[in-house]
Amino acid sequence: MLIMAPSILSADFKNLGEDLRRIDKAGAEYVHVDVMDGEFVPSISLGMPVIKSARSATDRVFDVHLMVNNPERYIDDFVECGADLITIHAEACNHLDRTINQIKDKGVKVGVSLNPATPLCVLDYVLDKLDMVLIMCVNPGFGGQKYIESSTRKIKELKKMIDDRNLETDIQVDGGVTVDNVRMIIEAGANIIVAGSSVFNGNIEENMEKFLAIFKEYEK
C-alpha cells in the first residue's frame, strides 16, 4: 500500500492548523514531522509545543523524524506529544539497538533513518525489529534539495534485503521527491512517500491530487 506523508517543515507556519486540515482532506495518511537540533543537522526546527499543538489538528499518523544527536533523551517527550511513529538516525545513536527497544517499549512504531552515504549494513542486526526504514535522498537539514540519484539503487537493495528475510518493513523515502521522480522511487521499492515543497508550494490540493493519481497506477 502506498502512503503519502506530507512534511510539514514546508508548511505555512502562520496557518499550520489550516494546512494540516487541507492535507488531511486531500488524502494524506501520515503527517511527517521533522525535528532538528542544530547539531546533528545545521538547522533547528519544530519544538515540542508546536508539535503538540499540531497533533491536536489532525488524527492522521504522526510520523516524527528525529534528526537529533542522542535521540534517546527525547523519546518520552515525543510520545507524550502524540507521536505514532518515531524515526531515529543510525548515525546519531551510540546504542542503536537500545534506543530502538526504548521506542518499542513505549508502544509506538519505530523507524531508523540512513543518510545518503550510510551503508545498509548498519541495519543488519536490527532490521527485524523495525517497522520502517527511512532512506534519506538528500543530505538532511534543509528542504527543497535535489534528489541524489544513487538513492534509487539503495532503495532497491533495501527492498531485496527486506524480502530476503520475509519481513514486511515499510520503506519511506524523504528528500527531493517530486511528481516527476516518484514513479522511479515507487518502482525501486518505497511505499511511504515524504514530500514537502512538492506538496506545500502552490495549491496543496492540486499537488496532493497529482501524487495520489500516480499512486493509483500501482494499485493491484
Q: pLDDT tens digit string along 72-98?
A: 999 999 999 999 999 999 999 999 999
Distance CA 29, CA 107 (A): 20
Which residues are annotated binding-site positions for substrate?
Answer: 7, 65, 141-144, 174-176, 196-197
First to last CA, the chain: 9
Closest CA to 7 of 23, 25, 27: 23
- With residues binned 3-state (H G I as helix, E B as strand, rest as coil), the percentages for the chain, rounded to 5, are 40, 20, 35
CATH number for position 155: 3.20.20.70
Which domain covers residue 187, as residue numbers? 3-217
Domain count, the chain: 1
CA angle 123, 196, 199 (to 5 degrees): 135
Structure letter (DSSP) for residue 188 = H
With H, G, I as helix, E, B as strand and everything else as coil, classify residue 13: helix
Residue list, annotated binding site for a divalent metal cation: 32, 34, 65, 174
How far apart (Å, rounded) are the C-alpha atoms in residues 142 and 101? 29
Model pLDDT for residues 155-194, shown as the tens digit of each residue:
999 999 999 999 999 999 999 999 999 999 999 999 999 9
**CA 137 → CA 39, 146, 158, distances in Å?**
20, 8, 14
* Residues 45-73, mean pLDDT to the nearest whole number: 89
C-alpha cell at 101: 527497544
Distance of CA 9 to the CA centre of its chain: 11
Task: State how far the Cα of 126 lies from the Cα of 122, in Å rounded to an integer.
Answer: 8
Classify strands 132-136 and 109-114 as parallel, antiparallel or unpaired. Answer: parallel
The DSSP annotation for 99-163 comes to HHHHHHHTTSEEEEEE-TTS-GGGGTTTGGG-SEEEEESS-SS-SSPPPPTTHHHHHHHHHHHHH
Regarding predicted confidence, which is higher, 27 or 38?
A: 27
Mean pLDDT of all residues in 50-62: 89
- The annotation places the binding site at 7, 32, 34, 65, 141-144, 174-176, 196-197
Which of the two residues, 13 and 84, has the higher pLDDT score? 84
Q: Which of 19, 34, 63, 170 is catalytic?
A: 34
pLDDT digits (tens, 9 = 90+) for 117-158: 999 999 999 999 999 999 999 998 766 779 999 999 999 999
- Catalytic residue flag (residue 34): yes
Residue located via cell numbers 497506477: 217
How far is the CA of 211 from the CAs of 2, 41, 63, 199, in angstroms?
A: 10, 28, 19, 9
Q: Which of 19, 63, 170, 174 is catalytic?
A: 174
